[in-house]
Structure 1
Amino acid sequence: MAEHITIGDIAPRVQYVADGVLTAFTFPFPIFAEGDLEILLDGAALAGGATVSGAGASEGGTVTFAEPPAAGTRVTLRRRLKIARATDFQDNGVLRARTLNDELDYQVAAIQQVADEVAGAVRLDPSDTGGLVLPLRAARANRVLGFDSVGDLTVFDRGTATIGVPFPGGVPRSVEDKLAERLTARDFGATGDGVTDDGPALAAAMAAAAASGRVLVIGEGTFRTTQPLTLGGGAAGLIMHGAILYAGPAGATALTIGDGAAVRNATKRYEGLRVLRASLSDWENEADIGLVLRNLDASLVEIRQVEGFTIGIRTLGVERGFEDSTLILGRIVNNRIGLDVRTETAAGWNTSVRYYGGHFAIGSTVHPEKDRFGVRFSAAPGAYVAHNRHVFDGPGFELQAANRPISGIPFLIEVNSRSVWARALRMEGCSPFVARHTGAAQDHVYEVAWASQAYLVDVDYAPSATRVGAVVRSSHQAAAFREATREVAAVPNLRAARIRWSNTEWGFERLACLSSNVAGTPGTLADFAFPALDAFGFGDDGVVLTGGRGIGFVVDARGCREFALSVDADAPRLAVMCFDANRALLTDAGTPRVRASGQSLVWNPTARWYQGAADMLDATLTRPQVVRLAPEVAYAIIGLVRIGADYAVRAMRLACDPLFSPALLYGQPNLPIGVRELVAETAWDPPSIAAGGSAQVNVPLPGARPGDFASASFSLSTSGVVFLAQVGATDVVTVTAWNRSGGAIDLAAGTVRARVAKA
């Protein structure tokens, strides 16, 4: 050393937490040689992979790693000296100050090292006296270490010595009793390392818990077993922080909880259950089950994960019921049947159970050719089949069956169950069925909150099904739509509702005809709502919208902001026109005046309406639409228009919230749309009509066309005079008064009424 080292009052230890980037770490204490520095990473000594600089420097030095320690690693640098004296001073030799200082520095550094280690040891308070000495090995074997009445160290027998909690009312108990309060798997030798076969240890622990009525705790880790396990109903419960990894024979249940036969397993609590299969089942053998729960009553079960079996979980009534219990479900993954609700005997039942959550999922590459189901209701041959009152809250199903020739259905009902309710469930990549019924199940309710198939989700009734009556309530893209239960208008058959307005024009009952290019300078509702237009086409069951044509309901929106439109059409395009309180057209103002629930609307400045950005196709889940109008919109036309291609429309319905009863506008004098019959009247004082003679009057009637059915009447008694009518010219009904009597008749002044009926 070039200069003499200085040993300051600095602890010979420093710690850091690595950030995954830094490679150099300093130590502020001196070392004599590089080998005096010990490097620990998360407590493990490092051998190689780092260089040490600064040996012999009073201010310490630096450790430089070849690779930066991983982020979060605790890096410990401490001085470790050999407590030995390897040198000696010569008798009568020259005592050099440098040599003496080196020896003293080494001794001081060694003392600092000892002081650092003693600081972490249990020791007496400086104000205390005496010493604590352990009893001899033979005296302390299988005993409990403790303190006697004067605070000296002693040992106690585990079965006779007592300890108490430091609270008022605490009762001293034996150490043996305290240690046996809860059993753990590790008490019986289980390791949880995922490699050792912990099956025998787990079996022993479960037998002890069942025999003693204790709760069994399976701690952190993965407990591998090559044998099926059973926790008898005598156990008070089970708490799992780790997982059971089943590597035993196929065709067996990995973990069975509860007793079979006629035993009632009541008021139990099982928490954190995780059962995994070491290798994925081939899904062929239904005896290959992850978890079976038998005869539970009024119990609480939390299942965190069951994965890789033919049947993930089975709840089983065996000569007694599985009932009135609550199951909290987690990840139920890669099982052909996630949960099997089953009975085994005619005396067993499975009823009145609540289920919360549950992610029933299948990997995209897991047995892609095989059917899979989330929840099955089943019974052994001859067993009880009337499972009833099961409630599922918020389960999710991700079954990877869409666009595959297989079934991936959330619920498979093979029994005569009653009142099975599933609320707010999610369907991702499933078949277009929320359930398949194969028997006499009734009164099931399936509420779908989200689904790839949206409102087209249905129940699949197999040929063997003998009852129907399940209800599917799909809210995806239709939640607001389903609340619109007040029917404003309905045209259930567009073909039957067509009105021949003239030889070339057609109208429709309760609907206005729309054009994408209105001539002139239209500005009001009446300018855009036509009673009839040409260029409509017709199929056997509906109207075909061709270029520039549309149809819609005209509504009074002053008291109602939202309307729900439902249509039966091939690929319709939504359109909405907006008008103010004076029925003047409202154009786009930058902020949309109308919005829809399932799609975006864009402004068409040529047609002067808001139209859907895309066709309303089943694949894009946009057919049931709720339309919300801005506050300034007092009147609106809500309907369908032709944009990209001709398409057929067969039926249309408009609804709203039952709180409102908005008027549907049609058949008004200033809005003669949507009606098949037209009426008008005029005052007339007929002249004296000779016997066999007649008199005529023309009654103006907008909309009347040659070919319409026409009739007329007079407001006074017309004995002997017959009134006849015909449409002699456009918008005019000619009324003829014919005197068929044998003498002249002079009618008093009255009112002529004319009516035209369209074909």
Structure 2
Amino acid sequence: MADHIQIGDIAPRVHYVTNGMQGAFTYPFPIFEIEDLEVRLDNVREFSGFTVSGAGDSNGGQVTFDVPPAPGRRLTLRRNLRLARTSDFQSNGVLRARVLNDELDYQVAAMQEQQDALTGAMRLDPSEYGDLTLPSAPGRANKVLGFDATGGIALLAQTGLITNAFTGAVPRSVEDKLAEALTARDFGAVGDGVADDGPALQAAMNAAAVAGKLLVIGEGTHRTTMPLSLSGDAAGLTMRGSILYAGTWGQAALTIGSGGAARNATRHYAGLRVMRATQSDWSSESDVGIRLVNLDACHVEVLQAEGFCIGIQTLGDERGFEDSTLHLGRIANNRYGLDIRTGSAAGWNNSITYMGGHFANASSVNPTLSRFGVRFSCAAGAYNRHNAHHFVGPAFELQRQGTPGTVDAIPFLVDVADARAITARGIRMEQCSPYVARHTGGANDCLYEVGYVGTYGFTGAGIHYPAGATRAGGTVVALHQAAAAHGSPRLVAEAGNVRARAFRWNSTDIGFEGMTVLSGNPSGPPTTMNGLCFAGLSSITLNNDNITLPTSRGIGFVVDCTLCKEFFLAAEGTTLRPFIVQFDGSETVLNDSAPVLFSNMNTVWQGSPSSWWEGNADLDSLSAGIALNRLQRVTLHSSAAYAVIGVRGGSAGAVLKALRLYVGGTDAPAILAGGGRLWGGRELTASITYDPPSIAAGANATQAVTLPYVQGGDFVSVSHSSASGFIEWSGAITTTGSSGTVTARATNRHASTAIDLASGTLMVRAVKPRL
């Protein structure tokens, strides 16, 4: 066995790619000392964090790391000897074979390292001969090393290569570096507000689209007399200046994104500013400042859009506009600040978040024309179900012109047949109409939180439902001066157990305390509240814990809706159909010219003789397996002063258990029942002035008192304002019905003395029995 290192024919380096788990790595070549082994991770030499074994072994050894290197790193183990002679042979001394072998082994190992290093060097092919000596430093300064026509070294002029100052950067040509992003000035844009930069801007936009580059429009005002278009093929747009549109009317000044079925996804458009050189007269909705088409998962920042009929328009053409975020700045002097639109049956406009936005109009701009901050719209025949649009902190200063306002100045106009989940938080309204929104169709699940209303005082922030609206699908939370009230919605009428409220009105009819009963086919037909509201009706079945309500019978609460027009109806039971009857201030029934709206179903006018509006579905009916109808918002017509809100049987076996009526926390409408109203009260009373005669001991005197609707079986009591401890009063029902009579009897219980009471009031009371 050899007693010294054997230097074999093996390269003095080995490479590994680490996996994150292996910590020990073999080197197959010999080293003399531990310091002879060089350890590198990703070309960086390491000096600690590992141990080396196997020094002096001909077969190499092992490097063991304290912690396995992270996966994917390149590990190099390389022998690196110091080129120095470490031994000396003395004259006339003993020449030992071991020392000589060690010296020769060291030299061979060092030559192997040099041979290994030469394999990575640039050199001539063995068949070639020539001089590769570089010129002196002054001669090669600011030159590029190259080769001439014969293959010899040549110094070439500098070609404009530049290198980033950071580690790892590679040289690039100036042209390549400048082509990273395109600017409008690359194509001759001036930005002085006078020169027509339109051709230069469009050329730049075309180039950005072809190259898929980001376009930068630098500082300054870039005036254009032509409409501009940036295709969705461009990587994006950054504006540090503005575009001043001085072109013809009826065109979009700046269109971003490709139309048709193109999808313009994951783009970033920042700092957009487009203004009209002359204020639009709002006569054409084709006059648009910025049109954004078919954007998907994009981020858009609009700093300014001013002076157009439509400031900003987002358009789902033959594809969708969706899943994007818009940051809005100053949107001024436009009839529609933001128009959210679809252009075809195949397009959609959904799931967008809008941050901020100041929608404003100057008082001098088109003062006789209505204006809106945000509009939801669609082209004829286009998809009309916009959904999931969320606004955060928009401000509206629309100049409604006069007190009261003479033109509409409404923040939100939902002008489509259907829309869902439009929400707006922290709305600020200045100089607007007393409406935060107008819904012209069947928009639903919309929520508007109004944080502040200023100018002309707080006159309201409701939702306007014009003729043609089919749903009361909006909720307003007016925090302005009323934030505390919104935490407590008010329960204004409750029949937690309708069956327990039942009482016998007469031998055939049943009434309900605090409620009125209606007929689907009353005779007459009646035209007033007293004619349509009954104290009791037949054909109602009383069960143990509920009632059976046929289709011809309705039961509900009578409300004074002079101020409060919105109620929430909740009913517990099966196959119940909601209905509304409205009356004006003189209690005359209103016809179909005063429509009502429900939040989750359409309304149907039943006409005379019932004269009620009802929902087109039962409250417990399912929509796609979900009970969406159970809680209904009821929006009454503005001309209604009184209304009956309740349910009727949706089938012959409809069951009613409970009925409740809610309003917002700032309202407290009166519920009309009993007292001066015939319906809803078990108690009947009457009084007359009566001077009883002198009544002998043991004798009595009687007096008939008219008490309409008293019936046999009612509990009757009698009293007189002149009291005596010996006069006992009692009553007996002598006639019944609408002209019923109670005979009051005064009996003198004194054993020997006649009693003559003073004149006073004789009072008669009858109470209907519960059933």
Q: TM-score scaled to structure 2, two decimals? A: 0.46
Q: TM-score scaled to structure 1, two decimals? A: 0.46
* Structure possessing the higher radius of gyration over alpha carbons: 2
